[in-house]
A and B are shown apart, each in its own frame.
Chain A
Amino acid sequence: MSESDLTQDQRIIERYLGQPARLPDQVREVGERALGGPVRLYAMVDLAEARTLTQRWILLGERRVALVEPSGEARAFDRSSVRAVREEPGLSATLLHILAEANQPPLAELRYTHRQRRAVENVRFVLEQQIEGRSVETGSADVEYARAMAAPVREAQALVAGNRRAVLWRLLAYLAPYRRRLAWGFAAAAVITLVSLVPPWLAGYLIDKVVRPVQDGAVSMDKGATAAWLAVIAMALVFVVRQGAALVRLRLMAVVGEMVARDLRGEVYAHLQKLSMGFFSRKKTGSLITRVTSDTDRLWEFLAFGVVDVSLSLVMLVGLSVVLLSLDWKLGLVMVLPVPAFCWAIFWHGERMERLFLRTWRKWSSMTDVLGDTLPGIKVVKAFSQEEHETGRFSVRNADVTEEANRLHVSWTTFWPTIMLAIHGTTVLVWAFAVPRLLGLGGGGPTLSAGTFVSFLLYTTMFIAPIEVIGQMTRTMNRATSSAHRVFEVLDTEPEVVDVAEPVRLEPVEGRVAFEGVTFGYDGVRQVLRGVSFEVAPGEMIGLVGPSGGGKTTVVNLIARFYDVTGGRITVDGVDVRELDSAHYRRQLGMVLQDPYLFHGTVLENIRYGHPEARPEQVIEAARAANAHDFVVKLPHGYDTVVGERGQTLSGGERQRVSIARAILHDPRILILDEATSAVDTETEREIQEAMDRLVAGRTVFAIAHRLSTLVNASRLFVMKDGRLVESGTHGELLEMEGGIYRTLYTLQREMAKAI
């Protein structure tokens, strides 16, 4: 398979799983012969009967199922002969039986590890739907297989670790808008490097050309003094220029790094706002926050200092080597030859430290686990008198951390003095080679001047810093590219819900909502909505009820266009929602959720969230309608009270009423209520229900509730089960349906309420 033929999922499989990224051609050929037609869906089964790793394939055709063994042998059976699919899940392997009639041998027996599970479950899902008399439309078999197999890695990792060099170049491209500042920063750094080479040379010059000649009487005292003072002034100038350049370099690069980090943060955050809900359901919030904060901060550090430090250290080492070799090539070689060994030693030490850090990190996690467990659960600890036990547990892990940290300290405190000793050893070697030549012990007089020797000694001290930087270069680059990967993954993710080129704006939305044979699945094959159709008139209140997992929340998610349908269509006022300007449409859509989300800010800011220009009178009016005004007035700072992160300073009922006030002010044409009264006490529920009654008036409302008594006044009730709309009608109509789901649920809830 050529690189260009591979999808990203297939690349993940090839790189990480060591398995075929798609059905091998030979297996496809054999399988299609057995199926008598093309392969619609397939999965690899990776365990043999003896539970050794193998490669069997199960292929689904239009009417038949085929099994292709590793030997290439194939057998097939009719899909219509499948009566049941049973699985026996284990710790790491599942045994799946595809059954025919009772007491007949299974049509197939498949053993596979969890890695193959999603792909096999796709096949299983289609077979089970068929048993229930439903058909499932599947996409490309290769795409579905690759998606199922790559999902665990894709969810765990930022993205397939691609070419680090390409990532680095892409990162450096962010410096382009600041190229002038960057050029000045590099120039300043180059000046620092160059002028740093001057003092040792000057010292040697002073000794050889001034001090010695004056002492020997070859130069007059006056002339010598003038030259010496000039050298002192030059030295002072060098230091002034050097520190001036350091100031320019540090400031410019720090600012440039900060600007790039700002650009990246802004770009990532703006892009996150555009991404679809599917992306957020796949990624942990903490991981996304890290990308906007820590990762961009790490990139600042790299761009501000790492880039310049690494490049100039290389220049410095080359410059020093050239200077030393040109001053005296024999002594120069003594100094230069061990440099690669020193760089390697520092690199090696870095690698060892990584492993030590890993151990320390593991111990540290173990210790913080105790904290994370016991502090939030301190009431349980005390109730069971486990304080001493927990203290003991913490002490053991604390001691473990200390032991590992000490191991770490032993390592670096041993390494650095040792490497310094080695570098100083080189200096001693320079002495050992230089002294006989200084004294002329080989006969023929001194072959090395005192000035050159002093210059040499001073240059040797300058080797240490660049050696250290270059030794740690790999680590610095790896850390920066890792952060860049995480940031670029967000930037490279395409929103799944995108507006058409010329979207329609409904001014205003009337609120007529229609589902026309809507089919939807979050992950391609498994459908959570199957052919749902209904029409809702403007101003109707629809109660969505039914067992969990029936598809109620998916219906409202699709109305809000958080996802696009996979089949059929949804229209609002006769227009397909995919044709609408989604931002404009959502401005006319309101949501009140079970756990209302309030932002860090004042009550006023939260009520005004969707309508920032609202006048105070409008805010108060909305709060009154939401039964929130009275409790807000009692807060110390009234509407200016800061409610804290996620509104934690308010009770659940108070937060809910603020969110209703927000929805009332937003004045949506279509309103979604998702279990809005389920998490509060009876009195609060009454107040919220009152507020809701005001809120829903004159709008199209979709309300989800498990407590059916709250929906008896709905215009109609839709009962959802297994992704289908199975019953609809008014409360009274549904109660009259003998054996109906709604009637059963309602009767059960009433009986439970009476029992309580």
Chain B
Amino acid sequence: MVRMGKAALRLERREDGQLWAVRDGEERAVRVRRLFPWSEDGRHISLRDVDDGEFALVGPDEQLDDASAGALDEATKGAGFVLEVTAVLDIDEEIEIRVWKVETRQGLRTFQTHLDDWPRETPGGGLLIRDVAGDHYFVPAPGALDARSREWLWAFVD
């Protein structure tokens, strides 16, 4: 059942490590799903229970206490996590795949994309690359990368 703007929603990360949502005396372990991860700045969030049913939909106007907002914020960061590219070191074309070597904020990473799986531009002007395993690599501002990285990316950005 979807409920918005009704009884106060409370969220907390409990000792078992899971995020729990409580509303109307009903509580469930939930996970967060951002509805617009790129276009709306992650302000609409669906809280899903163990069976992937929607326990609550959290909109931008949802009033949350500080602790709940903090717990939700942390969970949202986890759900929206993508590797953030800080430099492109190499792009090589091989048989049916393109091999990328990049420096990310999380560390050095080599990944592969399909030849016709083009990087996607995000509304904020970033670039989103999806590899063959389904991982996403985000370049927040391709124009702000170093000259060598920009050169590597030249064929993939407008």
Contacts and interface: CB of A to CB of B under 8 A. Distances in A.
Interface in B1-47: 14-19, 29, 31-32, 34, 37
A166 interface: no
Interface in B81-120: 81-83, 94-97, 99, 104, 106-112, 114, 116, 118
Contacts of A52: 106-107
Contact of A90 (B29, B80, B133): B80
Interface stretch (A95-103, A465-473, A532-540, A569-577): A95-103
Contacts of A106: 16-18
A156 B116 contact: no
Contact of B95 (A51, A158, A359, A366): A158
Best-buried of B17, B95, B97, B158 by chain A (most CB within 10 Å): B95
Contact of B135 (A103, A113, A366, A400): A113
Contacts of B37: 91
Interface in B56-95: 75, 78-83, 94-95
A358 interface: yes
Interface in A71-98: 86-93, 95, 97
A156 B132 contact: yes
Contact of A93 (B32, B81, B94, B132): B81
B16 A91 contact: no
B148 to A, nearest CB: 14
A646 interface: no
B79 A91 contact: yes
Contacts of B82: 91-92
Contacts of A361: 116
A90 B79 contact: yes
Nearest to B92: A161
A365 interface: yes
A152 B132 contact: yes
Contacts of B107: 52-54
A399 interface: no
A16 B112 contact: yes
A360 to B, nearest CB: 9
Interface residues of A, number: 51
Interface residues of B, number: 45
B15 A104 contact: yes
A161 B136 contact: no
Contacts of A17: 110
Given A16-B99, A158-B96, A362 B156 contact: yes
A105 B13 CA distance: 11
Q: A-side binding surface: helix, strand, loop or mixed?
A: mixed
B135 A114 contact: yes
Contact of B96 (A93, A358, A486): A486
Contacts, number: 128
A53 B158 CA distance: 30
A356 B155 CA distance: 7
A104 B16 contact: yes
Given A117-B133, A358-B155, A105 B112 contact: no
Contacts of A114: 133-135
B2 to A, nearest CB: 20
Contacts of A117: 133-134
A95 to B, nearest CB: 6
Given A359-B155, A365-B116, A157 B95 contact: yes
Contacts of A359: 154-155
B84 to A, nearest CB: 10
Contacts of B96: 156-158, 287, 486
Interface in A571-585: none
B78 A88 contact: yes
A152 B111 CA distance: 11
B28 to A, nearest CB: 12
A102 B99 CA distance: 45
Nearest to B29: A86
A88 B135 CA distance: 15
A53 B80 contact: no
Contact of A91 (B31, B94, B136): B136
B139 to A, nearest CB: 14
A18 interface: yes
Interface in B107-158: 107-112, 114, 116, 118, 131-136, 154-156, 158
Contacts of A358: 155-156
Best-buried of A86, A356, A365 by chain B (most CB within 10 Å): A86
Nearest to A361: B116
Given A91-B80, A104-B15, A114-B133, A156 B155 contact: no
Contacts of B154: 355, 359
A387 interface: no
Interface string A102-121: 11111001010111010000
B34 to A, nearest CB: 8
Interface in A421-441: none
A87 B94 CA distance: 35
Contact of B133 (A47, A111, A152): A152
A52 to B, nearest CB: 5
Interface string A344-371: 0000000000011011011001100000
B16 A102 contact: yes
A283 to B, nearest CB: 11
Contact of B15 (A103, A362, A366): A103
B81 A91 contact: yes
Interface in A473-511: 482, 485-486
A161 B17 contact: no
Contacts of B95: 157-159, 161, 482, 485-486
B154 to A, nearest CB: 7
Contacts of B131: 115, 152
A153 interface: yes
A53 B86 CA distance: 14
B155 A153 contact: no
A90 B134 contact: no
A329 B37 CA distance: 70
B79 to A, nearest CB: 4
A358 to B, nearest CB: 4
Contacts of B80: 90-91
A91 B50 CA distance: 18
A105 B133 contact: no
A483 to B, nearest CB: 9
B15 A88 contact: no
Contact of A362 (B94, B135, B155): B155
Given A89-B31, A90-B80, A104-B16, A18 B136 contact: no
A54 B107 CA distance: 8
Contact of A103 (B16, B111, B114): B16
Contacts of B99: 16
Given A86-B50, A88-B31, A156-B96, 6 more contacts: A18-B109, A91-B82, A113-B135, A153-B97, A156-B97, A161-B94
12 contacts: A53-B104, A53-B106, A54-B107, A90-B81, A103-B14, A106-B18, A156-B96, A156-B97, A157-B94, A158-B95, A356-B155, A358-B156
- CB-CB nearest 6 A-B residue pairs: A53-B107, A106-B17, A90-B79, A88-B31, A114-B134, A152-B133
Interface of A: 16-18, 47, 51-54, 86-93, 95, 97, 99, 102-106, 109, 111, 113-115, 117, 152-153, 155-159, 161, 287, 355-356, 358-359, 361-362, 365-366, 400, 482, 485-486
